[in-house]
Amino acid sequence: MYLEKNLALVKERLARAAAKKSRRPDEVVLVGVTKTVPVETIAEACKLGLTQLGENRVQETLPKMEALPKEISWHFVGHLQTNKVRFVIPSFHLIQSLDRLKLARELQKEAEKQEVAVKALLQVNIASEKSKHGFHPAEVEEALTEISAFPNITVLGLMTMAPYVPDAEEVRPYFRQLYELFTRTRVPGVYMQYLSMGMTNDFEVAVEEGANMVRIGSAIFGERKE
């Protein structure tokens, strides 16, 4: 019951934020972040139409994938250790957290071995926070150029996590900056299709600043315990 209400409310807030910038609600992809959420609850959300799901731990996700409908597209949104790459490649639809060149090299090696193509977003550490992973804004173009030479990886855009602040208005300049980078960067072989920014705390501001993909956990599933 609460799920249906929460989901409807999130969609309504998303639509309102999109409308402020004259965009249709369906121009923004809603990814439900299901880390720590039990399988039964995810199955319910799936029935309500939420089929793009984000997870940040490989071990936690693989059993969920087994138990849940195949129509779900799984997004990896966590810091990915290179020794987990071989599990992630066949099962995730989009790796949103390509945050270092070493990871790109490992993804390429493993994707070549498995003879598949990998889709990814480049993670940008937009506020240059020590506690966060990702490329600094000034490194983005060079990183994309380097990664575009890897035949089995296709980069489809950028992802960021803004600093956590009580008032989301404070991070508006960061979202604006990433949108700028998103629209300005042109690297052959890189498709700037998705700008993934905005979480429970700040998704409306992110959408107003041009996000076309948001990753929302607690506003849909409730507060996480950890």
Residues that bind ligand PLP (CB under 6 A): 33, 35, 56, 77, 161, 199-201, 215-219
Least distance (Å) between residue 113 CB and ligand PLP: 27
Least distance (Å) between residue 218 CB and ligand PLP: 4
Q: Which residue is nearest to ligand PLP (CB)?
A: 217
CB 208 within 8 A of CB 13: no
**108 vs 160 by CB, closer to ligand PLP:** 160
Least distance (Å) between residue 87 CB and ligand PLP: 18
**106 vs 202 by CB, closer to ligand PLP:** 202
Least distance (Å) between residue 44 CB and ligand PLP: 17
Q: E strands within 61-152?
A: 73-76, 94-98, 118-124
Q: How far apart are CA 200 and CA 20, in angstroms?
A: 18
Tokens of 38: 């039990």
Kind and range of the H or E element at 44?
A: helix 39-47
Distances (CA, A) of 92 to 126, 133, 173, 203: 25, 20, 31, 23
**85 vs 215 by CB, closer to ligand PLP:** 215
**146 vs 169 by CB, closer to ligand PLP:** 169
Least distance (Å) between residue 80 CB and ligand PLP: 11
CB 191 within 8 A of CB 157: yes
What is the signed CA dihedral for 56, 222, 213, 145, rounded to 10 degrees? -20
**119 vs 215 by CB, closer to ligand PLP:** 215
